[in-house]
Structure 1
Amino acid sequence: MRYVIGLDIGTTSTIGIVLDVSNSKVLATATRPVTLRSPRQGWAEEDPEQWWTNLCEIVPEILAASGIDKSAIAAIGTTGMLPATVLLDDGGAVLRPSIQQSDGRTGAEVREIAAEISESAFIERAGNGINQQLVASRIRWVERHEPEVFARIATVFGSYDYINWRLTGERAVEQNWALEAGFVDVTKDELADDLIALAHLRRDMIPDKVKSADIVGKITAEAARQTGLAEGTPVVGGAADHIASAYAAGVLGAGDVLLKFGGAADIMVATDTARPDPRMFLDYHIVPGLFMPNGCMSTGGSALNWFIAQFAKFEAEKAGELGLSPHQYLDQLASGTGPGADGVLFVPYLLGEKTPIHDPEARGTILGLSLNHDIRHLWRALLEGYAYAFRHHIEVFNEMGLTTTRFLASDGGSKSRLWMQICADALQVPIRLLTGHPGSCLGAAWVAAMGSGATDDWAGVANCVSYGEEFLPDPDRKDGYDAGYARFRAAYALQRGAST
């Protein structure tokens, strides 16, 4: 069989595709929104049942649109944000909302762990630093603030691990969830009891680790009834969304960089050598033998959506009257302003920030406002803020000894021509768009094809996408954006100085 399904359990939406492997063609796609909740400052939570409900609606839709019978699907691959933390009791009930990758509530727990162990020793073993990404910090938070929940924990895993379990009844954690969670000894490539114990968990609470293309189980009768899939269809381990997206984009060689403009903003680079650094995350590449150091910001498209909902309701209504999305309409307005947004600077640390500063207490900051400014300047400043944040990541990669020479852009935010030109100018590098790249679900689908034997070509996924427009940097804007970047870095330093 040559058809596979890829499912993306994303931050802002659930997406599904049907892929014809032999023709490298996406036959159908469907999406449903996901509600990201922040009930308290720095929190980011979602309801795992909403992911499942979305999936049960999406699968019948993409099967019908593709014209493919469910029995012709060779395998299912899943992907999702990393490391979402899902807690189940011994009966399989979800104990609380998922704590998302962008959550910033665990500053005290991170400091507690850092006081107990040497960070240099931890990095050498676990491949990542002691930061808010560690699942151990989240479990300790639950233990401290929700002891009745902690007492009932029987299983801990990630978003797409949860979906795999709902599909197959088998409990497993994909390798990159386990690695970024802080539970893998990279020197041995295995789960380590003592690292799991940092979360005050028993070893049996973390399911066994699997690789992306490993078959974890098959669709159960109940899952088939709810989703419309064929009972017995294989399901593979899946992949982290940012890794799946970069892989599908063709990030395979040294110097290849993907800027991923999703609900959170990500940046990835490929390497054949593990290079642990406390400022960045280290993940396995999907291709065996490779690694993918990467950075992930707590927000991205989610912050743009927040801005529209809170400050641009009038513009959103006007956009609808013109047949545009709110983002497109605001881009049109902001394009009438120049680089630097007439002095307005937006530091987008709205949920704290992950890489490269790892500061859950950082906050969003707007500087330079005057009575002559309006929504145009604020929107452009927000887009420029993420360009500066990407530039910060690239500086760190280069300091780590990683080359960054070829830049690709993917996911929903890359449709903004204004944002792409801002990034090209602020980074002073050409940025090439990808076309026909539906996002992380494509990488998940190709992993399913590899795991099921529908193909044996890891590099074949590149045939599913093509290159689009290239945005060239304007050298005349270099000095202005250099100054803006310096101001961006100084704004955070000033904020931290004021809070200490």
Structure 2
Amino acid sequence: MMRVLRLRIWGMSSIITPAGLSNPPDLSMSNSDLLIGIDLGTSAVKGLIVSADGGILGEANRTVTFERPVPGVYELDAQTYYRNLCTIIQELSACAGNPERIKAVSLCAASGNTVFLGENREPIRKVISWLDTRTEGKEADLWPEIKKDYVHRSAGWPWSGIFPLAHLGWVKKYEPDIWQRTKYFVMNNDYVYYRLCGRLATDYSKATTFYLQEQEKQRWNPFFLSYYGIREENLPDLLPSGTAAGFITARAAEESGLSTGTLVVTGCFDHPAAARSTGIFHEGQLLLSAGTSWVAFAPVRSRERGIENGMLVDPFLSPEGCWGVMFALTAVGEKIKNLLAACRASVSDGTSNGDGLYDWFNRLAVQSMPGAEGCFINPMEISAENIPAILTSGSPQQLARALMEGSAYLMKNRIERLESSLERNLERIVMVGGPTGSPVWPNILTDVLERPICIPETGAHAGALGAALLAGMGAGIYGNLEEGQKRLSKKETCLKPDKTNSGLYRDLYHQFKIRCGLN
């Protein structure tokens, strides 16, 4: 007998049941239930289609292409972005055989990309990426009345003069025609939800990066709305993570290959999604996510301690469970990539050997001993201006090793500060992201941190798997996060520190802190 499941579509007055739909999806528990999780990353969009019990049927990805007409400007075309997303979903849907088997789709995101929509809910200018720095240092010109301490306490994230709160000020002053024509102020992920299910919606987690949300009260901040002259109806609906926002529209079904019976479920910011899929739920656990930015994410019981320590705070499992605190080596992956590209272009000794950039990077790092023969690089200080000088500070092998070690030293420094926000010592560290595939980088991190690090088999797409978990919750397939995580989880490899290397790195870390002026 089919189990009838009651689903609330948040913000709508009715309770929708399978029996009450003209084309009811089969929401019974079964091994044939399929879920799609999408990770809207900064540099790439990744997707997975999985069975409810964790079998991965397929994966797909597309690189994100930015328009950079002048230094500091990072923009996207929203329509192209959505079409590429639909191509990914089509490839995943094809793995299902029958798209009606796909019960739900959810998206996590590296959010903070601002979209300005007109009366017809179509973009009227290019998306401004969170990487965009045109607003940096313009506080006195664009928002003199906004105090950074207030922003942090309200929104949950420290504010450095970028992200949507800043984008709004820039467009209002320098593009008044666009501002006047804008009916809806949203982020890229909100626009994607609209295209999929016909509803402008976001979740409390991704809304944190908008900076307009009062995080604790789970509402749009009246002060910011008044400051910019924006009404709530000009913003997306605020919903909890893992709740149904609507069903795939007929138009989206044609564009994506999904069924109109597929639920569209709210997701979360990308790192909390990865934490969900890897079982990082409780204080004393830490997720290290390495991508465009390197982020450490830890559940905490007290939001206030995270604010006091200047950290990024995510709603995560609150109010019933933990908040999440994060620190980020913002865009450090991009900085490392830029130095590597310059290094490779400068060599003519055959070391590239036809390898891809990161394969070359790994091969070089292996050829240098721990300590990189006295070469130190702080990856956060890499810039276009100082790359030529860095290239002369060592051989390609030493530079590669020093880059890996420098990122590990920075993480160790931040983790030491993070632990001051916790009520208990860290007992478990999980690492996810592209660098987990390196034969040397995770071992360097383990030795520098002097702690075991666990790498899940699915770590390269932990964010997408976390989105799939939330999709399953929104569809009623999983009763709670722990159940879903256990059903979706795979094997993991645990690395243990080498005592000899750890002893060496202890001294080198001290030298690195002195050189870089770290506390």
Task: Give the TM-score category using the shorter length.
Answer: 0.7 to 0.9
Q: Please, which of 369, 384, 396 is the counterpart of residue 375 of structure 1? A: 396
Which deviates more, 41-50 or 174-183? 41-50
Equivalent residues in 2 for 1:208-247, closer than 5 Å: 208-247=237-276
Judge conservation of contact 2:218–2:238 (CA < 8 Å) in 1: no
Judge conservation of contact 2:300–2:422 (CA < 8 Å) in 1: no
Give the 3 Å change call, closer, same or farther, for CA 238–144 of structure 1 in structure 2: same
Q: Please, which of 496, 503, 516 is the counterpart of residue 472 of structure 1? A: 496
Give the 3 Å change call, closer, same or farther, for CA 47–442 of structure 1 in structure 2: same
Q: Deviations over 1:124-159 (max 9, x none)?
A: 433333333552222112223333333332222223
Give the 3 Å change call, closer, same or farther, for CA 215–489 of structure 1 in structure 2: same
* Unmatched runs of 5 consecutive residues or more in structure 2: 1-26, 28-32
Provide the rounded CA distance (Å) in 2 between the counterparts of 1:198 and 1:268: 32
Which deviates more, 51-60 or 112-121? 112-121
Q: The residue matched to 1:346 in structure 2 has which SS?
A: coil
Aligned residue for 2:414? 393
Q: Deviations over 1:356-400 (max 9, x none)?
A: xxxxxx988569858672222222222223222222321221232
Shift of 1:228: 0.9
Q: The residue matched to 1:116 in structure 2 has which SS?
A: coil
Shift of 1:247: 1.2
Provide the rounded CA distance (Å) in 1 between the counterparts of 2:254 and 2:68: 33
Judge conservation of contact 2:309–2:421 (CA < 8 Å) in 1: no
1:349 and 2:377 are equivalent in the alignment:
no
Shift of 1:31: 1.2
Judge conservation of contact 1:259–1:410 (CA < 8 Å) in 2: yes
* Unmatched runs of 5 consecutive residues or more in structure 1: 352-361, 495-500
Aligned residue for 2:64? 34
Judge conservation of contact 2:68–2:74 (CA < 8 Å) in 1: yes
Shift of 1:256: 0.8
Paired-residue identity, % = 25
Judge conservation of contact 1:391–1:427 (CA < 8 Å) in 2: yes
Equivalent residues in 2 for 1:60-459, closer than 5 Å: 60-64=90-94, 66-110=95-139, 116-132=145-161, 134-199=163-228, 201-275=230-304, 276-277=307-308, 279-286=310-317, 289-313=321-345, 325-349=356-380, 373-401=394-422, 403-437=425-459, 438-459=461-482
Structure with max Cα Rg? 2
Judge conservation of contact 2:372–2:398 (CA < 8 Å) in 1: yes
Shift of 1:300: 4.0
Shift of 1:11: 1.2
Give the 3 Å change call, closer, same or farther, for CA 157–343 of structure 1 in structure 2: farther
Matched letter for residue 136 of structure 1: L
Matched letter for residue 440 of structure 1: G
Q: Deviations over 1:228-254 (max 9, x none)?
A: 111242101111111101111111111
Shift of 1:112: 6.4
Q: TM-score, normalised by structure 1?
A: 0.86
How many pairs are equivalent?
481
Give the 3 Å change call, closer, same or farther, for CA 462–270 of structure 1 in structure 2: farther
Provide the rounded CA distance (Å) in 1 between the counterparts of 2:58 and 2:443: 30
Aligned residue for 1:53? 83
Provide the rounded CA distance (Å) in 1 between the counterparts of 2:450 and 2:374: 20
Provide the rounded CA distance (Å) in 2 between the counterparts of 1:432 and 1:145: 48
Judge conservation of contact 2:215–2:315 (CA < 8 Å) in 1: no
Q: The residue matched to 2:112 in structure 1 has which SS?
A: coil
